[in-house]
Amino acid sequence: MTKSDILPPAAEKTAHKAVVHGDTLLDNYFWMRLSDDQKNAAKPDAQTQKVLDYLNAENAYREKMMAHTDSFQNRLFEEIKGRIKQTDMSVPYKENGYFYLTRYEEGKEYPIHSRKKENLEASEEIMLNVNDLAKGHEYYAIGGRSVSPDNNIIAYGEDIVSRRQYTVRFKELSTGKMLPDVIPNTTGGVVWANDNKTVFYTKKDAALRSYQIYKHLLGTPVKADQLVFHEKDETFSTFIYKSKSKKYLIIGSAATLSQEYQVLEADNPDGKFRMFQPRERKLEFDISHYGDKWYIRTNKDEAQNFKIMVTPENATTKDNWKDLMPYDKAIFIEGIDLFKDHMVISERKEGITQLRIRPWDGKNEHYIEFGEESYTTGTGINPDFETDLLRLDYTSLTTPNTTYDYNVKTKKLTQLKQQEVIGTFNAAEYASERKMVKAQDGTMVPLSIVYKKGFKKDGTQPVLLYGYGSYGYSTDPYFSSARLSLLDRGFGFAIAHIRGGQEMGRQWYEDGKFLKKKNTFTDFIDCGDYLVKEGYAAKDKLFAEGGSAGGLLMGAVMNMRPDLWRGIIAGVPFVDVVNTMLDESIPLTTGEFDEWGNPKDKTYYDYMMSYSPYDNVEAKSYPPTLVTTGYWDSQVQYWEPAKWVAKLREMKTDKNPLLMYCNMDTGHGGASGRFRALRETAMEYAFMLDLAGLGERLNLLGFISDLYYM
C-alpha cells in the first residue's frame, strides 16, 4: 500500500452561523464541540459518539501515515529514556524539623515523596508512593502536597482525568491511615491554620475558574464547610497561601492587570480576613511578610518594571507604602525572597535572569556570578529565615539543571546536584550563542541557539525554532536531555524570545498583547528569516514548534509565511481565538480579556479576526504539520485543534502531510508519568527527523513526497 491509498478522515460539514458586529461567522465544524456533561456521561450519546469516532479516525490515520517510522520512534523513545537516571533523588530541603525529598525508582513512572526526621541518616518515612496511588488510572497527577504544622498529616490533591480538578485527601503520617475527609473540585492544595485541624482550600466553578475559598475542620462533613470568600468578578481568580513567616493566611485575587489581598493571623482561623489593599485597575503587587513589616513588589507610581516597597505590619494600604530601594527602569524585578540578614531579588536585565543579594545593613550588596553569558537561574525552596545559605537552581542550553547552595557572606557556590545524563553526554561538545535579531519595526529580539560542535553554518543544516510569547511568560534558555536526540543528529535548536513574554521587561509583554499581538508573530518570523539568512538553517530545513498560546503562534506564522517552514509541530494549539473568546462558559475565557481583548468590543474583534489561525485558513499551500491535543484538555479544548485540522484539510492546496494526534486519556499537559510523555516526544522528533532526511531509513522518504494526498 502506498501513501496515496491512505485517505484522511473526511470531517462532516454542518453549517453553524453566528452574527457578530454585523458579520456572519460560518463555522462548518462547530459540531465538534462537546459539553463537560457529554464527555463525562457514562454512555456516549449520538453526538458524543460522532466526535469520538472522528478523533479516533484522525488517530488511526496518523498511525498509518507514520507507520514507516514506528521502529524509529521506538528507538528514539529508548534513546531518550536511556539518558534519564531512573533511580534518582531530589536535593533534600529542611522544614520544621524534617528533611523532605522526592525520589524515583528503576522503571517506575511516578515519584515517591518521603522525609527524614532531623538528619539525613534517619530512617525514611514514605509519605506518598504515587506509583501505588496511580494504579488503575490511565492518568494520575498529584498536586498541592502540604504537611500540617505538627508534622502529622499530609494533605494532597489528586487528578485522575487531567482537567486540573483535584480531589483533596488527607493521610495521617504516624499511622498511614487515610482520613475520611475528601474534598472534590479544588485547585489541589490546602493551607493549614496553625491549629493543625483547620484547612482552607479553593474551589472551581463550571468554567474551572478558582472562585471560592472555603474553610474545613478535619473530622466534620465537607458539606458543612464555611464559605470564606467568593470572588464574583469573573475576570479575577482567587487563591490562598500562608506567609513564609507562618504568621499569616493570605487570600489573593488576581487578574492580568490587578491584584488584591486579604490577611488573617494563622493562629486565629475563625477570625475575619481584613483587606490589605483594595484592588485598583492597573495596580499590580504581591506581598511578603517578615518581622513587623510587609514587603511589596509593585508597579505603583508608574514603576512599569516593578519596584520594592515596605510598609508597617498593621498599616497596609498603599498610602503607607514607602520605597525600599530606588526604581531602576532598566531592571525588571520578578520576585523577592526574605531572610534574617538579607533580601534576595530575582531580576532580569537585558533579558538575562540574575539574583541580587541585598543585606539589610546595606553593606556588600552584590550579584551572584555564574560565568556564562546566557543562562537561567532562580531561587529554589528556601523555607528558613535563619540562614546564610540560598538554595538556587541553574541551567543553560548546554548545562543540565543544577542545584546550588550559595553562601551570601563568603560568596561561595556549592553544587549539591546536577542532573545526570546517562551515557556519553559531554557538555563541552555543545555550544550556545545569543544573538539579537532586528525585527521589522527595528526592535532587537533576543535569539538563543544551541548545537553540537561541528555544526556548519553554511545553509545546509536543519534547525528547530521554538517560541511562545504570551501572558508575560519568559522562555529562558534551558537544558533538555531529550533534545540531544536532535542535536546529535545535526539539528540546531533555537528559542525566539519574542514580544509577549517578559524577557526584556514589562514593556516587552505590553508590546505583544491586545492590539499589538501581531508583534509576537512577526518577531518569530524575523527570527526564522535570520536563521536562514545567517546560514544556521537551510532554507528548506527550518522547523517551528510551539504549544498552547505557542500553538496559536504556529497557526499564525503558518498563515503568514507558509513558505518559511519545512515542518510545524503545534501542541494543544489555541487557534480558534474569536469563537473561544466570545464564549464565556469556556474555561479561562473571562480571565483573559486583559490578554487578548474582549471581542464583544468591535475594535478587538476586528483585530482578532485578522490573525486568528482558524479564521484565516486559506486555499494555499501549507507546510507539513503535526498537531497534538488531549481530549480532556481544560485550557485549550480539543475541538480547537480538531476544527483547525478539518478546515486546513478542506482548504489547503498542497499534498504535504497534515496529521493530528489526540491523546484520549489526558489533558493540556499530556501524558502523566516520567516515561509515557516521552512516547509523544519521540513521535514529534521522528516526524521532524524524517522530514529532514535524517530518519531511520533514508529510502523511506516517501513520507515527504508527492505520494501524500491529503
For the question of residue 668 being annotated catalytic, the response is yes
* 563: CB partners within 8 A, 6+ apart: 621
d(CA 250, CA 678): 38
List Cα–Cα distances, 125 to 413, 442, 526, in angstroms: 30, 58, 54
- Count of other CB atoms within 10 angstroms of residue 302: 8
Q: Are 420 and 85 in contact (CB under 8 A)?
A: yes
Write the DSSP symbol of residue 2: -
d(CA 464, CA 542): 6
Quote the distance between the C-alpha of residue 531 and its chain's center: 26
d(CA 465, CA 263): 45
Query: Which residue type does 660 have?
Result: M
Strand partners, 407: 389, 412
For the question of residue 706 being annotated catalytic, the response is no
Give the strand order in the sheet containing 248-255. Answer: 237-242, 248-255, 258-265, 274-277
Give the residue carrying C-alpha cell 484547612.
199
Among residues 633, 634, 672, 690, the one annotated as catalytic is 633
Q: Are 619 and 652 in contact (CB under 8 A)?
A: yes
Comparing CA positions, the residue from 469, 466, 461 lying closest to residue 491 is: 461
* 298: CB partners within 8 A, 6+ apart: 283, 284, 285, 286, 306, 307, 308, 309, 321
d(CA 92, CA 381): 10
Quote the distance between the C-alpha of residue 286 and its chain's center: 21
* 383: CB partners within 8 A, 6+ apart: 93, 94, 95, 96, 244
For the question of residue 132 being annotated catalytic, the response is no
d(CA 196, CA 11): 56
List Cα–Cα distances, 342 to 345, 380, 386, in angstroms: 10, 16, 10
Among residues 68, 668, 672, 690, the one annotated as catalytic is 668
84 class by beta-carbon count within 10 Å (0-12 exposed, 13-18 middle, 19+ buried): middle
Among residues 548, 612, 634, 672, the one annotated as catalytic is 548
Which residues are known to be catalytic? 548, 633, 668
